[in-house]
């Protein structure tokens, strides 16, 4: 994500911060099974995600009435039980649930906060694959995060701008809402004929009947829930293939078309350059969604998988940042929100490399300017331990995260460093990893002792008093 520069936030139908920070664990039940936990123990957002199962696929059938701002939907969720379960939970904020079925049988359900508890007619055995269908609807609501930014299902004049970091996915579908549970997705989105619906992956079908158009999108590679989108609006839309035969889908609000053209025209060039740096592109398609958003959207872009969404026309550096996330954050996803620097530090460093390629500042000059600056915000907390949920999108995670990489580059040398940039996303392709994994990965590739580097630059409080 790119949060810069900030604008003032408008009022939202907010999700209470306490809801994100409180854990909601399930009670113990009879020996026939346990109640799946309402938390996976994320250190920053313990109320997000649920235990006892892992999702493998979401099938989302969404029918959105744009003028009335009403959603009618059904979610089909395929998952595998990791323990014997008598009940389990999903994250769903707002919206009205009209029915739940598990493996074709009607299931009891209840709501508390953003937790939907499901009690199947029969218990689920450990290792069993089960399918849950949830019928629901209403008027989806955006939410305000601990850092005061707006996300979720954000209504626009011509549809919806849909973003999910860190929690917004649950404003429009029932979900195991944590980056540690990645799944494949299929979307079927029906809207009035004049509108277009964009989602992750490849467009499999588009058909119009009685004044309404249904778009079917398939995202076959594993995806964290915060990277899903179902953005709707009036867009200039085009598809093409890169010289490497990668499908590209680009949707741009007409009001942003002229200002977006220069940066978006460089997308194939950016992808080719990044593939050389980071290795094979990890997904089956690429693209961009550029919308004309309300002023309360106080951030620039989000790296939604395969198609980053931009809150207004991007420049080339922003496109570089969000496309770098396809490797760092989307394919290799942090195990918890504490390790967001593994997303943002790498994407910021990609911007530095791009600027140097374009004849601007070198990566070392970026580092030197930051190290010499009197910006106290930069040293407020270490990038590897943000401490508070509102800090996951603050300056140290981005800029100091990139400084960690520049220090690593100087410690191990260019040959080893640029090998790491390729080998790390290849080793954890479509999986999850944390800082400890990255530190061990780097240490295995050099005789240089990296202990002090990571202790001071990744985890140390305040400005380190040394540099390589």
Confidence band for 32, pLDDT divided at 50, 70 and 90: low
Strands (E), 332-453: 333-334, 432-433
- Would you say residue 58 has pLDDT above 80? yes
Q: Is the pLDDT of residue 327 over 90?
A: yes
The mean of the pLDDT values for the chain is 93
pLDDT per residue as tens digits for the range 166-211: 999 999 999 999 999 999 999 999 999 999 999 999 999 999 999 9
Predicted local distance difference test score (pLDDT) of residue 1: 81
What number of other Cβ atoms are within 10 A of residue 351's Cβ?
21
Whether the CB-CB separation of 290 and 264 falls below 8 Å is answered with yes
pLDDT higher than threshold 90 for residue 17? no
Question: Which pairing describes strands 115-119 and 108-112: parallel, antiparallel, or unpaired?
Answer: antiparallel
Q: Is the pLDDT of residue 8 over 50?
A: no
**Measured on CA atoms in the order 311, 317, 323, 329, is the torsion positive or negative?**
negative
Q: What is the DSSP letter of 2?
A: B
10 Å Cβ neighbour count for 407? 22
Q: Return the residue matching tokens 């949707």.
A: 251
Check pLDDT > 90 for residue 278: yes
Cα atoms in the Cβ-side hemisphere of radius 13 Å centred on 107: 26
Residue 52 is predicted with a pLDDT of: 97
Q: Whole-angstrom Cα distance, residue 92 to residue 441?
A: 37
> Across residues 322-343, what is the average pLDDT?
98
User: For residue 7, is pLDDT > 50?
Assistant: no
**pLDDT digit string, tens, across residues 430-442:** 999 999 999 999 9
Look up the pTM and report it: 0.94
Residues comprising the chain, all counted: 468
Alpha carbons 213 and 327: distance in angstroms, whole number: 33
Q: Which residue shows structure tokens 């998952």?
A: 79
Determine the Cα–Cα distance for residues 232 and 64; give it in Å rounded to an integer: 9
Write out pLDDT tens, residues 143-154.
Answer: 999 988 999 999
The mean pLDDT value for 112-117 works out to: 97
16 has pLDDT over 90: no
Percent of the chain beyond pLDDT 90? 91
Q: Do residues 193 and 349 touch, judged by C-beta distance below 8 A? A: no
Q: Looking at the predicted structure, is the pLDDT value of residue 329 above 70?
A: yes
Q: How far apart are CA 166 and CA 178, in angstroms?
A: 8
pLDDT over threshold 70, residue 117: yes
pLDDT, tens only, 378-423: 999 999 999 999 999 999 999 999 999 999 999 999 999 999 999 9
Instruction: For residue 194, give the nearest of 65, 94, 299 by alpha carbon.
Output: 65
Strand order from edge to edge, sheet including 142-144: 142-144, 150-156, 159-163, 230-233, 196-199
- Mean local confidence (pLDDT), 221-248: 98
pLDDT grade for 3, boundaries at 50, 70 and 90: low
User: With 80 as the cut, is the pLDDT of residue 29 above it?
Assistant: no
Alpha helix (H) ranges present in 190-295? 257-265, 267-278
Q: Distance between alpha carbon 109 and the CA centroid of its chain, in Å?
A: 28
pLDDT at residue 311 greater than cutoff 70: yes
Question: Is the pLDDT assigned to residue 10 strictly greater than 90?
Answer: no
Give me the pLDDT at residue 241, please.
98
| Confidence class for position 367, pLDDT limits 50, 70, 90 | very high
């Amino acid at each position: 994500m790119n949060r810069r520069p900030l604008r003032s936030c408008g009022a939202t139908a907010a999700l209470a911060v306490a809801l994100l920070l409180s854990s909601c664990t399930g009670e113990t039940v009879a020996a026939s099974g346990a109640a799946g936990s309402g938390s996976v123990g994320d250190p920053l957002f313990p109320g997000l995600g649920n235990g006892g199962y892992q999702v493998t696929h979401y099938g989302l059938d969404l029918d959105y009435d744009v003028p009335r701002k009403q959603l009618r939907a059904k979610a089909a969720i395929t998952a595998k039980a990791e323990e014997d379960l008598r009940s389990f939970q999903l994250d769903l904020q707002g919206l009205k649930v009209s029915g739940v079925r598990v493996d074709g049988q009607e299931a009891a359900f209840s709501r508390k906060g953003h937790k939907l508890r499901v009690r199947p007619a029969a218990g689920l055995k450990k290792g069993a694959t089960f399918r849950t269908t949830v019928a629901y609807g209403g008027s989806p609501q955006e939410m305000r995060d601990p850092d005061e930014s707006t996300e979720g299902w954000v209504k626009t004049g011509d549809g919806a701008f849909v973003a999910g970091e860190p929690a917004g996915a649950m404003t429009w579908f029932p979900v195991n809402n944590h980056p540690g549970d990645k799944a494949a997705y299929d979307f079927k989105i029906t809207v009035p004929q004049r509108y277009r619906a964009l989602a992750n992956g490849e467009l499999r079908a588009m058909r119009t009947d009685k004044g309404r158009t249904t778009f079917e999108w398939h995202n076959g590679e594993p995806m964290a829930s915060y990277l899903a989108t179902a953005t709707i609006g009036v867009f200039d839309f085009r598809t093409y293939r890169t010289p490497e035969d990668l499908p590209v889908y680009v949707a741009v609000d007409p009001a942003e078309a002229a200002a977006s053209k220069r940066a978006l025209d460089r997308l194939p060039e950016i992808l080719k350059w990044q593939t050389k740096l980071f290795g094979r592109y990890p997904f089956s398609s690429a693209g961009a969604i550029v919308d004309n958003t309300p002023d309360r959207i106080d951030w620039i872009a989000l790296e939604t998988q395969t198609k980053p969404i931009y809150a207004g026309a991007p420049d080339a550096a922003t496109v570089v940042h969000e496309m770098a996330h396809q490797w760092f954050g989307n394919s290799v996803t942090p195990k918890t929100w504490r390790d967001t620097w593994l997303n943002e530090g790498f994407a910021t460093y990609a911007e530095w490399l791009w600027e140097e390629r374009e004849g601007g500042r070198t990566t070392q000059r970026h580092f030197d300017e930051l190290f010499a600056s009197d910006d106290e915000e930069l040293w407020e907390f270490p990038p590897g331990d943000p401490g508070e949920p509102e800090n996951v999108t603050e300056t140290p995670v981005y800029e100091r995260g990139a400084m960690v990489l520049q220090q690593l580059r100087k410690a191990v040398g260019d040959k080893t460093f640029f090998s790491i940039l390729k080998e790390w996303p290849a080793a954890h392709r479509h999986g999850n990893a944390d800082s400890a994994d990255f530190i061990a990965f780097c240490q295995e590739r050099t005789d240089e002792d990296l202990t002090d580097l990571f202790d001071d630059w990744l985890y140390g409080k305040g400005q380190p008093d040394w540099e390589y």
